Amino acid sequence: MRFIQVGVGGFGRGWVQWLTDNPSVEVVALADVNQAALADARKIGNYGKEMCFSTLNEALKNVEADALVCVTPPEYHKQCVVPSMKAGLDAITEKPMSDNLANCMSILKTSRSTGRTCVVSQNYRYNPKTWTLARLVESGRIGDIGQVKIDFYMGVDFGGGFRHEMDYPLLIDMAIHHFDLIRFITGLNAISVRGEAWNPAWSNYKGDCSSSLVFEMENGARVVYNASWCAKGQFNGWDGGWLIEGSKGAISYQDDKISLYDVPELYKINSTETVQEEGPEDSGQKFVLNDFISSVKEGRRPQTDVFDNIHSVAMVFTAVKAVKTGRRVPVIDKRVQQLIEDE
What confidence score (pLDDT) does residue 208 get? Answer: 97
Closest CA to 310 of 190, 225, 148: 190
3-state secondary structure of 153: strand
CA distances for 111 relative to 61, 104, 126, 230, 289, angstroms: 21, 11, 24, 37, 18
Q: Kindly state the helix (H) or strand (E) to which residue 298 belongs, with its residue range.
A: helix 284-298
Question: What is the C-alpha to C-alpha distance for residues 169 and 323, in angstroms, rounded to an integer?
Answer: 13
Instruction: Delineate the domains of the chain, giving CATH numbers in brackets.
Output: 2-121 (3.40.50.720), 125-275 (3.30.360.10)
Question: What is the overall mean pLDDT for the chain?
Answer: 94
DSSP 166: -
- 3-state secondary structure labels for all residues of 44-73: HHCCCHHHEECCHHHHHHHCCCCEEEECCC
73 vs 190: which has the higher pLDDT: 190
Residue 343's pLDDT is 57
Specify the pLDDT at position 333. Answer: 81
Maximum CA extent, the chain = 67
Q: Once rounded to an integer, what is the mean pLDDT over residues 99-124?
A: 94
Of the pLDDT bands very low, low, confident and very high (cuts 50, 70, 90), residue 337 is confident
pTM of the prediction?
Answer: 0.93
Q: What is the pLDDT averaged over residues 270-295?
A: 93
Task: Name residue 331's amino acid.
Answer: V
Q: Is 219 helix (H, G, I), strand (E, B) or coil?
A: coil
> For the residues 153-182, what does the mean pLDDT come to?
92
Residue scoring higher pLDDT (162 or 116): 116
Residue 152 has pLDDT above 70, yes or no: yes
Tell me the percentage of the chain whose pLDDT exceeds 70: 99
